[in-house]
């Protein structure tokens, strides 16, 4: 019996001071990826400062944040 392998996909989003838009972007991305169960998605948001509120908003929507 063969087991179907799930493909892994990373979505990397560079962002800087995007606190006004990152929430809706990630919400739409999460809605879209939820419709594709044959893939395992990882969302990574890359920011350049710990002080950028984009990071906290991204984490609250399930993204991994890299500084």
Domain parsing of the chain, residue ranges: 7-66
How sure is the predictor about 6, in pLDDT bands with cuts at 50, 70 and 90?
A: confident
> 38, 35, 45: which is closest to 65 by C-alpha?
45
What is the spatial order of strands in the sheet that 39-46 belongs to? 7-14, 39-46, 64-66
pLDDT in tens, 15-42: 999 999 999 999 999 999 999 999 999 9
pLDDT in tens, 39-59: 999 999 999 999 999 999 999
């Amino acid at each position: 019996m063969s087991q179907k392998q799930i493909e892994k996909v990373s979505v990397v989003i560079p962002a800087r001071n995007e606190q006004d838009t990152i929430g809706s972007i990630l919400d739409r991305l999460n809605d879209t990826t939820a419709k594709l169960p044959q893939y395992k998605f990882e969302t990574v948001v890359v920011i350049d400062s710990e002080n950028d509120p984009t990071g906290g908003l991204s984490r609250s929507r399930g993204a991994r944040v890299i500084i």
